[in-house]
A and B are shown apart, each in its own frame.
Chain A
Amino acid sequence: MIEKSGREFLYLLETIGRMGIFLATTLTNILKPPYTPYPVIRQVYFIGSRSVIVILVTGLFTGMVLGLQGYHNLKKFGSEELLGSAVALSLIQELGPVLTALMVIGRAGSAICAEIGIMRNSEQIDALECMAIDPYKFLIAPKFIAALISLPVLTFIFNILGILGGYLAGVVLLGVAEGAYFQGMYDSVVWADIRLCLVKSIIFGLLIVWISTFKGYFLHLNRSGVFGAEGVSRITTDAVVFASVTILVWDYLIGSLILS
């Protein structure tokens, strides 16, 4: 029993250490020349551009729900004119970064993890090493840069669509004054909120790509000893669950660190 918990702890320690080394190796590889922009552009297309449709739809409906709920709650106090600031603040501070991150985990994080996992499984990564091509530089680094660029962009698109959705639900459907909606928003949102949103989205981007590539890259060290197709499916599930939980935990941590 004690032996087992000790082994668990050592395994945990090893995983944390491996994750740290993985991150450090990747970051130094990003800084090292040669810089090749084309793989990064392709990854931005995959992680960013291809996620736009999902982000547009989720953003619009999140905003509409916020507008609807906010309107009915604020109506009790007779302060419907606060709707604009309520929608904008909750979108910019919390929902924008978090929901975008969750969508990207589902759409791109899982795909990245599976892709690298399969490459490891079919020994393509070993083949790269045999050809003296650094897999960190060739495979992982472009994904990191692309995620760090894409997440803020997607988050801001989400915010704009959410504000539009709140406008649709609140002003067009429920009849809040248009001026009150936008003016309340301009008055209450400050630069610090937008900076918080930016910081959150960049950190979430790093977490997503870090966890998904890590899980895929070290498929062969998987403790359950299951490789092949089942192993890939298992690590992909792991990566999605772990990344989602980490995002929510970090959302609270960053919020409390910056707002206090």
Chain B
Amino acid sequence: MKNMNLEMIVGLFLLAGFLSFSWLAIKMGDIKFFMEDTYPVTARFISISGLKEGAAVELAGVKVGKVSDIHLDNGEYEAVVELNISNDVRLQDDSIASIRTSGIIGDRFIKLTPGGSELYLEQGDEIEETESAISLEELVSKYIFDSE
């Protein structure tokens, strides 16, 4: 310990703290230091109940992006969801975006189903085909009240 002076120990301590903080911030807090290779597309839903910003976007079960922004279109009374899709994934312009739940009480995520068109979605385009969130309560009440 003779060749470790006070400043070095304090420096090591501060460095350890800084590394821990940056690991947490980058890995979990989604703080971006580098530009990520994604492009934005939007999708409109009649109801998104339970979908949150940061939710996963999946294609064939593989995570290909995330929800970056959710807001309400006041004229149409529809939810406008902005998705950041990874650059190496190309989507046809008739792809279908649907809101699903992982498990029974799990988080909501957006499931993309590829279409068959020759045209691909560009940056800022809108996914036309959407399916809103399926609410278990609505299904149950429909079943109860329709079966009379």
Contact = CB atoms under 8 A, between A and B. Distances in A.
Interface in A77-130: 79, 88, 92
Given A159-B20, A159-B24, A160-B23, A191 B10 contact: no
A186 B10 contact: no
B118 interface: no
B20 A157 contact: yes
A157 to B, nearest CB: 5
Contacts of A92: 24
Contacts of A187: 54, 56, 107
Interface string A29-71: 0000000000001101100110010000000000000000000
A190 B67 CA distance: 14
A48 B9 CA distance: 10
A191 B20 contact: no
A17 B7 CA distance: 38
Do most interface residues of chain B lie in helix, strand or loop, or is the interface mixed?
helix
A44 B11 CA distance: 10
B29 interface: yes
A44 B28 contact: no
Contacts of A45: 6, 9-10, 13
A88 B17 CA distance: 17
Contacts of A44: 10, 13-14
Nearest to A56: B16
A52 B24 CA distance: 18
A208 to B, nearest CB: 17
Interface stretch (A148-156, A229-237, A238-246): A148-156
Do most interface residues of chain A lie in helix, strand or loop, or is the interface mixed?
helix
Contacts, number: 72
Interface residues of B, number: 24
A133 interface: no
Contacts of A185: 28
Interface string A184-202: 0111011101100010000
Contacts of B27: 186
Given A42-B6, A49-B10, A160-B24, A189 B29 contact: yes
Interface in B1-46: 6-7, 9-10, 12-14, 16-18, 20-21, 23-25, 27-31
A44 B16 CA distance: 14
Given A45-B6, A186-B28, A156 B17 contact: yes
Given A44-B14, A48-B10, 9 more contacts: A44-B10, A49-B12, A79-B103, A88-B28, A160-B23, A160-B24, A191-B29, A191-B30, A193-B28
Interface of A: 41-42, 44-45, 48-49, 52, 79, 88, 92, 149-150, 152-154, 156-157, 159-160, 185-187, 189-191, 193-194, 198
The 10 closest A-B pairs by CB, nearest first: A153-B17, A191-B29, A189-B28, A156-B20, A49-B13, A160-B20, A156-B21, A194-B29, A45-B10, A49-B9
